[in-house]
Amino acid sequence: MTRKTRIRAALVTATAVVTAATVSAGISAAGGNRPAEPTKRQAAALFDTWNAALQTGDPQQVADLYAGDAVLLPTLSDEVRTDRAGRIDYFEHFLANKPFGKKIETHINVLDANSVLDAGVYQFSLTDHDTGRKSVVKARYTYEWEKRNGEWKIVNHHSSVMPGG
């Protein structure tokens, strides 16, 4: 190999190394090390966690699933709840009816590794705490979940009784 050929080979090798390093850095900068997005099944399980908290009968435990700045537009109240005290107040009354939620229709959009929207229709089996009378309430819902400090929290929750007709 001549000196000129060795220099040319060294330049080609150096260029290849620089190009590979640049591409690798670009992939990392573009999110090559991003956390994995949750699956739709994992996102759907967030509702199961919320429903299980209802079964405890403890409004504090349910409220713990909401971010501090969450907005709750509840099913059986016309008052918007924007702080923990308001959410606890709502769930104290709601839990008195021993609700059990069941999804009827669900549509999940995983927005990114830290954001999920879950919207659809669910129903609650309720037992009136005064009369013992059982009823079912069908409602539309939307949950917006965000991962904050490694924990999934509800940041927006809208639930409204299905309109008649």
pLDDT in tens, 89-144: 999 999 999 999 999 999 999 999 999 999 999 999 999 988 999 999 999 999 99
The domain total for the chain is: 2
Q: Please tell me whether residues 149 and 108 are part of one structural domain.
A: yes
Q: Please tell me whether residues 48 and 92 are part of one structural domain.
A: yes
Q: Please tell me whether residues 1 and 56 are part of one structural domain.
A: no
Q: Please tell me whether residues 101 and 152 are part of one structural domain.
A: yes
Task: Band the pLDDT of 164: cuts 50, 70, 90.
Answer: confident
Q: Which domain holds residue 45?
A: 40-161
Q: Please tell me whether residues 26 and 46 are part of one structural domain.
A: no
pTM above 0.85, yes or no: no
Q: Is 135 exposed, middle or buried (0-12, 13-18, 19+ CB in 10 A)?
A: exposed
Q: Please tell me whether residues 4 and 62 are part of one structural domain.
A: no
Q: Please tell me whether residues 83 and 154 are part of one structural domain.
A: yes
Q: Please tell me whether residues 7 and 79 are part of one structural domain.
A: no
Q: Please tell me whether residues 150 and 79 are part of one structural domain.
A: yes
Q: Please tell me whether residues 80 and 48 are part of one structural domain.
A: yes
Q: What is the pLDDT of residue 128?
A: 92
Q: Please tell me whether residues 68 and 137 are part of one structural domain.
A: yes
